[in-house]
Chain A
Amino acid sequence: MEWTLGAEGVEIDVNIRTGKYKIRKAVCCIDVGKVVNPQMAHGQIVGGMAMGIGYTTMEGFKLNSRGQISNDTLRDFKIMRFSDAPQYEVKFIETPQQDGPFGARGLGEQSVIGMPGAISNALSRAVGAELSSIPITAEKVWEVLMEDKK
């Protein structure tokens, strides 16, 4: 049985006054079996990374004081935009899938998985405190920085 294994990392700039941060670069090295169409495969992986970034950095429900969801439309529920996109770098390792077409495996979902961990680790390292509850908003980073100051 062949597994899809990979590793992901990010480079982040953090403003330690406001907690705002920007993901400059996101990288992924992943064993996806035989890459039949490199451009499509790259697109699939980058798409998954983008989903993971959105999930980690900005997607989340907000409740008002009555416990009602106040961001239940795309107007208020923020997802990644083009301007939020980092520079992506993707490398493939090709361990063929024995029973797959031309050695190919399904790919796309896997690149979502590593992003929350990569971003969380990078931010935690940058601010010197654990940030492991997603979405990691600028406000949360700021709160941790203020706690540190105390």
Chain B
Amino acid sequence: MIPFDFDYYRPNSIDEAVKIMHALTGSGKKAYYYAGGTELITNFRKGKSKADAVIDIKGLLELTELSLKNDELVMGAALSLNRVINHGVLTNVKNDINTRAKSSTHKAIKSVFNKIADNTTRNALTLGGNLCGRLTYKEAVLPLLAYDATVVIASQDGLYEKPLREVFDKRMKLGAEELLVKIKVKFNDKISFSLRETEGTETDYPVLHLFTLIDKEELFVGLSGYSSLPVYQLITDKELIKDIMAGKESAALDLCELFESARGLVKEPRLLTENTC
């Protein structure tokens, strides 16, 4: 049970949503955009978070768009992860042109999204929630950063687009009232790799989620779980990339060196072994 009262708003447009947020924050109220609610509702119930109002954006069409436009995948921020993983737009790519690029991109995104939480939770957990929420892992950001995605953001001044790499620095740097609307990913056939390790079960939070994307020009290495917040590096040394792609042992990357700024931020929760607490 949520132990406090709050106001519920259901705007009919993005403009209205942003205006409501502006009015609420302007009057000193604490408000959240709400879609899946997997984080908000849990935190409200646990007393970790409180709100004077929630603004329900689930019904806004632009935020639930899932489409292929030219050579680009467009994903609304209020889409659940399972809708992105399972939608026919992505699973029925065989008959389209540029099949290899689409298939490769979809496979990469799916390889990360499929590992987040569990299947039931992924029916509610949204892309925007995973990127913008308070939970530190934000694993969905890894392939999106790798593919140099573009984000569409709504503000008081209307919609604007920016590369995700300019908006995300360990967390999404959005203005207080801004709303993430959609994410666009250009297809390509770069080679991807995803590895997720947890403390225990597959559905645990990650102790390490590694995602890499490579072609002759650039190697992307992203980590979640390793440090407090996701970090990534872009390697553009072509000789090094060439050696890595050729599988030369001498080209192995030291991830600790690569992410020296993330060292010392690893969380170490203790596990009570006696089960007596």
On whether the beta carbons of A78 and B201 are closer than 8 Å, the reply is yes
| Pairs across A and B, CB under 8 Å, 12 listed | A57-B200, A59-B275, A60-B272, A62-B270, A64-B269, A78-B200, A81-B118, A84-B201, A135-B271, A135-B273, A137-B200, A139-B199
User: Nearest-CB distance from B265 to chain A (Å)?
Assistant: 13
> Which A residues between 21 and 44 are near B, CB-CB below 8 angstroms?
none
Residues on B lying within 8 angstroms of A by beta carbon are: 42, 45-46, 118, 197-204, 207, 269-273, 275, 277
On whether the beta carbons of B275 and A61 are closer than 8 Å, the reply is yes
On whether the beta carbons of A81 and B203 are closer than 8 Å, the reply is yes
**Which of A69, A70, A75, A139 touches B200 (beta carbons < 8 Å)?**
A139
The digit string for A43-87, where 1 denotes a CB below 8 A from any CB of B, is 000000000000101111111100001101101001001011000
> Which A residues between 117 and 150 are near B, CB-CB below 8 angstroms?
133-135, 137-139
On whether the beta carbons of A138 and B198 are closer than 8 Å, the reply is yes
Number of A-B contacts (CB under 8 A): 56
Cα(A12)–Cα(B254), bound, Å: 33
- Residues of chain A within 8 A (CB-CB) of B201 are 58, 78, 81, 84
A18 sits at the interface (CB 8 A): yes
On whether the beta carbons of B42 and A58 are closer than 8 Å, the reply is no
On whether the beta carbons of A137 and B199 are closer than 8 Å, the reply is yes
Give the residue name and chain of the A residue nearest to B202 (CB).
Answer: A83
- Residues of chain A within 8 A (CB-CB) of B203 are 78, 81
- Residues of chain A within 8 A (CB-CB) of B277 are 61, 69
